[in-house]
Amino acid sequence: MIATVLDFGVGNVHSLTRGLLSLGLSIEVTDNPREALASELLVLPGVGAFSAAARQLAPVREELRAALADGLPCLAICLGMQLLFHGSEEGQGKGIGLIGGCSTRLTGDRVPHMGWNTVATASPLLSDSQPMYFAHSYACRPNDPSAVGGWTDCDGDRFPALVQTARTTGVQFHPEKSGEAGRAFLRTWIKEVERCA
């Protein structure tokens, strides 16, 4: 299976691609969102600024939302997860709008939130209370919490750590920085994608 990583051009996607390669996926990296639309499996990585990424996606936003809603498998990490929503306080531009809601700045004393947090979840993709690594200043605020598959908390600010809709999975944490727990999550996610193929 070939995974296409959409490079937003402002961060190093090397650790993510290396992690996916080690689990048996073939990887293509592109900065062209139209090429990403033609992928077997799409990865929206977690490094970058919302406005710049939204501008990059703007020419194919409607097509991308339709493809994801129709079942294009997608893993969206950190910024990638925030792009699944309608918009963000971080900057101008529209997200994909696959999930209703937007991202707002974290309200706790520690911003950015960087470090390990446990995720409360019933999702088969992740063990309940599993610590994962987070690095972000904004969090998704869904209009309807039914898409949320896992929650975490930072200084009393509770926010989604995992969302799922159609065959799209979004995670606020960074699996590529979460050691063996992150590898286990990616391995389980890949198996689930293959099972549904």
* Residues 43, 58: Cα–Cα separation, whole Å: 17
pLDDT tens digits for 12-50? 688 899 999 999 999 999 999 999 888 999 999 988 899
Q: What is the DSSP string of 61-91?
A: HHHHHHHHHTT--EEEETHHHHHTSSEETTB
Residues with a known catalytic role: 78, 174, 176
pLDDT tens digits for 108-136? 888 999 999 999 999 999 999 999 999 99
Fold of 2-196: Rossmann fold (3.40.50)
Residue type, 60: V
> For the whole model, what pTM was predicted?
0.95
